[in-house]
Structure 1
Amino acid sequence: MTENFWKDKYPVGVAAEIDPDQYPNIQAVLKQSCQRFADKPAFSNLGKTLTYGELYELSGAFAAYLQQHTDLQPGDRIAVQLPNVLQYPVVVFGAMRAGFIVVNTNPLYTAREMEHQFNDSGAKALICLANMAHLAEEVLPKTGVRHVVVTEVGDMLPPLKRLLVNSVVKYVKKMVPAYNLPQAVKFTEALAKGRGKAPQDANPASGDVAVLQYTGGTTGVAKGAMLTHRNLIANMLQCKELMGANLDEGRETVVAPLPLYHIYAFTFHCMAMMLNGCHNVLITNPRDLPGMIRDLEKYRFTGFVGLNTLFVALCSNEDFRRLDFSQLKLTLSGGMALQLATAERWKEVTGCPICEGYGMTETSPVVSVNPFQNIQVGTIGIPLPSTQCKVIDDEGNDLPMGAIGELCVKGPQVMKGYWQRQEATDDILTADGWLKTGDIAVIQDDGYMRIVDRKKDMILVSGFNVYPNELEDVLATLPGVLQCAAIGVPDEKSGEAIKVFVVVKPGESLTKEQVMDHMRANVTGYKVPRSVEFRDSLPTTNVGKILRRELRDEELKKLGKK
Structure 2
Amino acid sequence: MAAIELPLVSRARTHGDRLALVDAAGAHGYAELLDASARVASALLGGADDLAEARVCFLVPPSFGYAAVQWGVWRAGGIAVPLAVSHPPAELEYAIGDADASIVVAHPDFAEVLRPLAQAHGARFIVTPDALAAASTELPAVDEARRAMMLYTSGTTGRPKGVVWTHASLRAQLETLSEAWGWRADDRTLLVLPLHHVHGIVNVLSCALWNGAACEVQAKFDVYEVWERIGSGALTVFMAVPTVYNRLIAAWEGAGPARREHLSAACRRLRLMVSGSAALPVSTLERWREISGHTLLERYGMTEIGMALSNPLHGERRPGFVGAPLPGVEVRLVEEDGSAAEPGAPGEIEVRGPGVFLEYWRRPEATAEAFREGRWFRTGDVAVEEGGSYRILGRRSVDIIKTGGFKVSALEIEEVLRTHPAVAECAVVGVDDAEWGERVCAAVELRGGEALTLDALLPWARQRLAPYKLPRALQTVDALPRNAMGKVLKPEVAKRFA
Normalised by the shorter chain, which TM-score bucket? over 0.9
CA contact (8 A) 1:63 1:199 kept: no
Mapped pair 1:278 → 2:278: no
For residues 266 and 250 of structure 1, the distance between their equivalents in structure 2, rounded to whole angstroms, comes to 18
Amino acid in structure 2 at the alignment position of 1:450:
R
CA spacing shift, 1:69–1:108, aligned 2, 3 Å: farther
CA spacing shift, 1:346–1:74, aligned 2, 3 Å: same
For residues 480 and 350 of structure 1, the distance between their equivalents in structure 2, rounded to whole angstroms, comes to 48
Determine helix, strand or coil for the equivalent of 1:348. helix
Amino acid in structure 2 at the alignment position of 1:100:
G
Structure 2 residue corresponding to 1:261, chosen from 193, 196, 201 = 196
Structure 1 residue corresponding to 2:240, chosen from 292, 306, 320 = 306
Determine helix, strand or coil for the equivalent of 2:98. helix
Unaligned runs of 5+ in 1: 1-24, 150-186, 557-562
Structure 2 residue corresponding to 1:449, chosen from 390, 413, 420 = 390
Mapped pair 1:76 → 2:27: no
Structure 1 residue corresponding to 2:382, chosen from 436, 440, 446 = 440
Structure 2 residue corresponding to 1:406, chosen from 348, 351, 356 = 348
Determine helix, strand or coil for the equivalent of 2:468. helix
Instruction: Map Cα deviations across residues 49-95 of structure 1 (whole Å, 9 max, x no partner).
Output: 11112211111121122223689833111012222111111110011
**Aligned residues: CA RMSD:** 2.1
For residues 27 and 88 of structure 1, the distance between their equivalents in structure 2, rounded to whole angstroms, comes to 20
CA spacing shift, 1:275–1:507, aligned 2, 3 Å: closer
Output aligned runs, 1:44-193, within 5 Å.
44-46=22-24, 48-68=26-46, 73-149=51-127, 187-193=128-134
Unaligned runs of 5+ in 2: none
What is the CA distance between 1:308 and its match in structure 2? 0.8
Determine helix, strand or coil for the equivalent of 2:71. helix
Amino acid in structure 1 at the alignment position of 2:112:
H
Output aligned runs, 1:324-473, within 5 Å.
324-363=266-305, 365-374=306-315, 375-444=317-386, 446-456=387-397, 457-473=399-415
Structure 2 residue corresponding to 1:543, chosen from 466, 481, 485 = 485
For residues 106 and 227 of structure 2, the distance between their equivalents in structure 1, rounded to whole angstroms, comes to 27
Determine helix, strand or coil for the equivalent of 1:435. strand
TM-score (norm 1): 0.82
What is the CA distance between 1:486 and its match in structure 2? 0.5
Identity of aligned residues (%): 30
CA spacing shift, 1:214–1:519, aligned 2, 3 Å: same
What is the CA distance between 1:325 and its match in structure 2? 2.8
Amino acid in structure 1 at the alignment position of 2:31:
G
CA contact (8 A) 1:27 1:96 kept: no
Determine helix, strand or coil for the equivalent of 1:62. helix
What is the CA distance between 1:97 and its match in structure 2? 0.6
Amino acid in structure 1 at the alignment position of 2:138:
P
For residues 292 and 216 of structure 2, the distance between their equivalents in structure 1, rounded to whole angstroms, comes to 18
Amino acid in structure 2 at the alignment position of 1:59:
S
CA spacing shift, 1:309–1:106, aligned 2, 3 Å: same
Match of 1:166 in 2: none
More divergent stretch after superposition (31-40 vs 429-438): 31-40
CA contact (8 A) 1:111 1:138 kept: no
CA contact (8 A) 1:115 1:142 kept: no
For residues 28 and 117 of structure 1, the distance between their equivalents in structure 2, rounded to whole angstroms, comes to 26
What is the CA distance between 1:27 and its match in structure 2? 4.3
CA contact (8 A) 1:476 1:484 kept: yes
CA spacing shift, 1:532–1:467, aligned 2, 3 Å: same
Output aligned runs, 1:493-504, within 5 Å.
493-504=435-446
Instruction: Map Cα deviations across residues 233-281 of structure 1 (whole Å, 9 max, x no partner).
Output: 111111111122xx4x321111211122211121123332222211111
TM-score (norm 2): 0.92
Amino acid in structure 2 at the alignment position of 1:66:
L
CA contact (8 A) 2:229 2:235 kept: no
CA contact (8 A) 2:12 2:210 kept: no
Determine helix, strand or coil for the equivalent of 2:6. helix
Amino acid in structure 2 at the alignment position of 1:438:
G
